């Protein structure tokens, strides 16, 4: 018995069955409706071209999501490569020294007034939660592309470090620095925009 029937794809139903899900996934990572729509279209085109390689090891939706993930990563790569700065370069206002003491015996301790804010970041009402999500997305948008890519892959997609390093072509120590900087910037942004 041929396995072509087992793994048959139906591209004519993709938009109807998976379009909204793929769009929701993309918008959560790129936070730009036009770009998310483009990514979904590119995903469908890439899947159409690669349909002969679909072996049925996963569901059709999982396969499409994996293609979309690659497209999103490529977007961040292109965005990064178009910039002059390197992954290690820091072009913002947040520096480790802005938060931590550098002198002994308290090296690495929080500077007075720069420790985590005691306010709860988790709002009670649905409206406040939507507002927080809007601010989180705004803060992610303001991250440099390489930091945003690493942050989204680790904190939102929950990818493991090895996968992120491979996808972004960076070392584990470089990833750690990028995530540290992204978290500092996210914290500063949320404290300014959400907690103030």
Q: What is this structure's pTM? A: 0.54
Give mean pLDDT, residues 5-32. 82
Q: CA–CA distance from 51 to each of 7, 9, 40, 131 (Å)?
A: 10, 7, 16, 40
- Mean per-residue pLDDT of the chain: 77
| Long-range contacts at 131-139 (CB < 8 A, ≥ 24 apart) | 131/194, 132/194, 135/189, 135/190, 135/193, 135/194, 136/186, 136/190, 137/31, 138/189, 138/193, 139/185, 139/186, 139/189, 139/190, 139/193
pLDDT of residue 4: 46
Q: Within the chain, where are the H helices?
A: 14-30, 33-49, 60-81, 126-141, 145-151, 161-168, 172-193
Rounded CA separation 56/43 (Å): 18
pLDDT of 118 strictly over 80: no
Rounded CA separation 157/45 (Å): 23
Rounded CA separation 72/65 (Å): 10
pLDDT of residue 95: 47
pLDDT of 158 strictly over 50: yes
Rounded CA separation 129/145 (Å): 25
Residues present in the chain in total: 196
Q: Please check whether residue 143 is in contact with residue 94, taking contact to mean a CB–CB distance below 8 angstroms.
A: no
Match 């029937």 to its residue by tokens: 5
Task: Tell me the pLDDT band of 179, cut-offs 50, 70 and 90.
Answer: very high
Would you say domain 11-81 falls under CATH 1.10.1740.10?
yes
Domain ranges of the chain: 11-81, 114-193
pLDDT in tens, 57-115: 888 888 898 898 888 888 877 766 654 444 444 444 444 555 555 666 666 555 565 55
pLDDT of residue 190: 84
Highest averaged pLDDT of the listed ranges 42-56, 68-82, 120-134:
42-56
Task: Pick one of 1.10.10.10, 1.10.274.10, 2.40.160.10, 3.40.50.970 as the CATH number of 114-193.
Answer: 1.10.10.10
pLDDT of residue 45: 92
The residue ranking higher by pLDDT, 146 or 83, is: 146
């Amino acid at each position: 018995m041929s396995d072509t029937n087992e793994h048959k794809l139906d591209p004519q139903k993709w938009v109807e069955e998976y379009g909204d899900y793929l769009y929701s996934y993309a918008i959560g990572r790129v936070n730009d409706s036009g770009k998310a729509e483009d990514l979904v279209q590119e995903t469908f085109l890439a899947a159409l071209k690669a349909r002969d390689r679909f072996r049925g090891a996963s569901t059709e939706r999982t396969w499409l999501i994996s293609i979309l993930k690659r497209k999103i990563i490529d977007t961040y790569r292109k965005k990064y490569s178009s910039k002059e700065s390197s992954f290690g370069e820091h072009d913002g206002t947040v520096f480790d020294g802005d938060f931590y003491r550098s002198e002994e015996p308290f090296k690495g301790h929080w500077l007075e007034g720069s420790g985590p804010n005691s306010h709860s970041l988790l709002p009670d009402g649905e409206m406040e939660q939507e507002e927080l999500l809007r601010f989180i997305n705004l803060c992610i948008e303001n991250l440099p592309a390489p930091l945003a890519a690493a942050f989204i892959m680790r904190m939102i997609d929950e990818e493991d470090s090895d996968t992120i390093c491979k996808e972004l072509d960076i070392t584990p120590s470089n990833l750690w620095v990028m995530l540290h900087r992204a978290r500092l910037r996210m914290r500063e942004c949320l404290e300014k925009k959400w907690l103030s």
